[in-house]
Structure 1
Amino acid sequence: MKAINSDPEILGGTLVFNGTRVPIKNLFDYLETGETIEEFLADFPSVARDQVLGVLAFSQQILSASTQLLHENPA
Protein backbone atom coordinates (compact mmCIF):
# COMPACT_ATOMS: atom_id res chain seq x y z
CA MET A 1 0.00 0.00 0.00
CA LYS A 2 1.33 3.40 -0.96
CA ALA A 3 1.39 5.47 2.22
CA ILE A 4 2.58 8.87 0.99
CA ASN A 5 1.35 11.13 -1.79
CA SER A 6 2.43 14.48 -3.14
CA ASP A 7 0.17 16.23 -5.63
CA PRO A 8 0.30 19.93 -6.49
CA GLU A 9 -3.52 19.91 -6.43
CA ILE A 10 -3.62 18.68 -2.80
CA LEU A 11 -2.37 21.21 -0.26
CA GLY A 12 0.09 22.61 -2.80
CA GLY A 13 2.13 19.40 -2.99
CA THR A 14 2.54 18.92 0.75
CA LEU A 15 3.30 15.29 1.59
CA VAL A 16 0.03 13.72 2.71
CA PHE A 17 -1.20 10.24 3.57
CA ASN A 18 -2.26 8.69 0.27
CA GLY A 19 -5.97 9.08 -0.43
CA THR A 20 -6.36 11.83 2.19
CA ARG A 21 -5.63 15.49 2.75
CA VAL A 22 -3.86 14.76 6.05
CA PRO A 23 -0.26 16.03 6.03
CA ILE A 24 2.43 13.56 7.10
CA LYS A 25 3.79 16.31 9.35
CA ASN A 26 0.67 16.00 11.51
CA LEU A 27 1.75 12.50 12.56
CA PHE A 28 5.17 13.72 13.64
CA ASP A 29 3.62 16.69 15.44
CA TYR A 30 1.44 14.29 17.44
CA LEU A 31 4.34 12.00 18.30
CA GLU A 32 6.56 14.94 19.22
CA THR A 33 4.03 16.16 21.78
CA GLY A 34 3.72 12.68 23.35
CA GLU A 35 0.43 11.67 21.78
CA THR A 36 0.02 8.11 20.60
CA ILE A 37 -0.60 6.61 17.20
CA GLU A 38 -4.04 5.61 18.48
CA GLU A 39 -4.85 9.25 19.31
CA PHE A 40 -3.66 10.32 15.87
CA LEU A 41 -5.81 7.67 14.17
CA ALA A 42 -8.83 8.67 16.25
CA ASP A 43 -8.44 12.30 15.19
CA PHE A 44 -7.77 11.43 11.53
CA PRO A 45 -10.03 8.46 10.71
CA SER A 46 -9.26 8.72 6.99
CA VAL A 47 -5.71 7.50 7.72
CA ALA A 48 -5.17 3.74 8.09
CA ARG A 49 -2.87 2.22 10.70
CA ASP A 50 -0.91 0.52 7.88
CA GLN A 51 -0.25 3.94 6.37
CA VAL A 52 1.11 5.27 9.67
CA LEU A 53 3.34 2.23 10.09
CA GLY A 54 4.49 2.57 6.48
CA VAL A 55 5.44 6.22 6.98
CA LEU A 56 7.35 5.38 10.16
CA ALA A 57 9.20 2.51 8.43
CA PHE A 58 10.03 4.73 5.46
CA SER A 59 11.30 7.44 7.81
CA GLN A 60 13.51 4.90 9.54
CA GLN A 61 14.96 3.84 6.18
CA ILE A 62 15.70 7.48 5.29
CA LEU A 63 17.42 8.05 8.63
CA SER A 64 19.49 4.89 8.26
CA ALA A 65 20.55 5.85 4.75
CA SER A 66 21.37 9.40 5.86
CA THR A 67 23.45 8.14 8.77
CA GLN A 68 25.36 5.83 6.46
CA LEU A 69 26.02 8.68 4.01
CA LEU A 70 27.26 10.93 6.82
CA HIS A 71 29.72 8.25 7.96
CA GLU A 72 30.95 7.64 4.40
CA ASN A 73 31.37 11.35 3.61
CA PRO A 74 32.60 13.22 6.69
CA ALA A 75 32.77 16.97 6.25
Structure 2
Amino acid sequence: SAVGGHDMFTVSDRLRQGCHILSATTGRLKDMVEKGRISLKKVKYFVLDEADRMLDTGFEPDICKLEDLGLPSKDDR
Protein backbone atom coordinates (compact mmCIF):
# COMPACT_ATOMS: atom_id res chain seq x y z
CA SER A 1 0.00 0.00 0.00
CA ALA A 2 1.09 3.57 -0.63
CA VAL A 3 -0.24 5.74 2.14
CA GLY A 4 1.12 8.53 4.31
CA GLY A 5 3.28 7.29 7.15
CA HIS A 6 4.99 4.62 5.03
CA ASP A 7 8.48 5.32 3.70
CA MET A 8 8.03 6.43 0.09
CA PHE A 9 11.40 5.05 -1.04
CA THR A 10 10.67 1.57 0.31
CA VAL A 11 7.20 1.57 -1.22
CA SER A 12 8.41 2.78 -4.63
CA ASP A 13 11.24 0.20 -4.67
CA ARG A 14 8.69 -2.55 -4.12
CA LEU A 15 6.32 -1.14 -6.73
CA ARG A 16 9.06 -1.05 -9.37
CA GLN A 17 9.04 -4.85 -9.17
CA GLY A 18 5.40 -4.72 -10.31
CA CYS A 19 2.11 -5.37 -8.61
CA HIS A 20 -1.38 -6.54 -9.44
CA ILE A 21 -3.24 -4.46 -6.86
CA LEU A 22 -2.20 -1.17 -5.27
CA SER A 23 -4.11 0.45 -2.45
CA ALA A 24 -3.17 4.11 -2.06
CA THR A 25 -4.44 7.39 -0.74
CA THR A 26 -5.11 9.95 -3.45
CA GLY A 27 -2.45 12.32 -2.15
CA ARG A 28 0.31 9.71 -1.86
CA LEU A 29 -0.50 8.24 -5.28
CA LYS A 30 -0.46 11.68 -6.90
CA ASP A 31 2.82 12.55 -5.17
CA MET A 32 4.52 9.32 -6.27
CA VAL A 33 3.38 9.71 -9.88
CA GLU A 34 4.40 13.40 -10.02
CA LYS A 35 7.87 12.51 -8.71
CA GLY A 36 8.24 9.75 -11.29
CA ARG A 37 8.41 6.99 -8.69
CA ILE A 38 5.56 5.03 -10.31
CA SER A 39 3.65 5.15 -13.59
CA LEU A 40 -0.04 4.70 -14.26
CA LYS A 41 0.35 3.87 -17.96
CA LYS A 42 -0.41 0.14 -17.54
CA VAL A 43 -3.37 0.50 -15.16
CA LYS A 44 -6.36 -1.58 -16.24
CA TYR A 45 -8.76 -0.89 -13.37
CA PHE A 46 -8.89 2.26 -11.27
CA VAL A 47 -11.25 2.07 -8.30
CA LEU A 48 -12.08 4.97 -6.01
CA ASP A 49 -13.40 3.81 -2.68
CA GLU A 50 -15.96 6.26 -1.28
CA ALA A 51 -15.62 8.54 -4.31
CA ASP A 52 -18.72 10.48 -3.31
CA ARG A 53 -17.10 11.48 -0.02
CA MET A 54 -13.88 12.36 -1.81
CA LEU A 55 -15.76 14.69 -4.12
CA ASP A 56 -17.69 16.20 -1.20
CA THR A 57 -14.48 16.94 0.68
CA GLY A 58 -12.66 18.66 -2.19
CA PHE A 59 -10.54 15.91 -3.72
CA GLU A 60 -11.93 16.34 -7.26
CA PRO A 61 -8.87 18.30 -8.49
CA ASP A 62 -6.54 15.55 -7.22
CA ILE A 63 -8.63 12.85 -8.88
CA CYS A 64 -8.67 14.74 -12.19
CA LYS A 65 -4.92 15.34 -11.89
CA LEU A 66 -4.32 11.58 -11.78
CA GLU A 67 -5.97 11.28 -15.18
CA ASP A 68 -3.59 13.94 -16.52
CA LEU A 69 -0.58 12.11 -15.07
CA GLY A 70 -0.77 9.13 -17.40
CA LEU A 71 -3.82 7.10 -16.45
CA PRO A 72 -4.92 5.45 -19.71
CA SER A 73 -8.30 6.46 -21.06
CA LYS A 74 -11.05 3.99 -20.29
CA ASP A 75 -11.09 2.97 -23.97
CA ASP A 76 -7.41 1.97 -23.76
CA ARG A 77 -7.71 -0.15 -20.60
Q: Which one has a larger percent strand, Structure 1 or Structure 2?
A: 1
Query: Please, what TM-score do these two structures have when normalized by structure 2?
Result: 0.31
Structure with greater contact order relative to length (CA < 8 Å, sep ≥ 6): 2
Q: Which one has a larger percent helix, Structure 1 or Structure 2?
A: 1
Quick check: which has more Rg, 1 or 2? 1
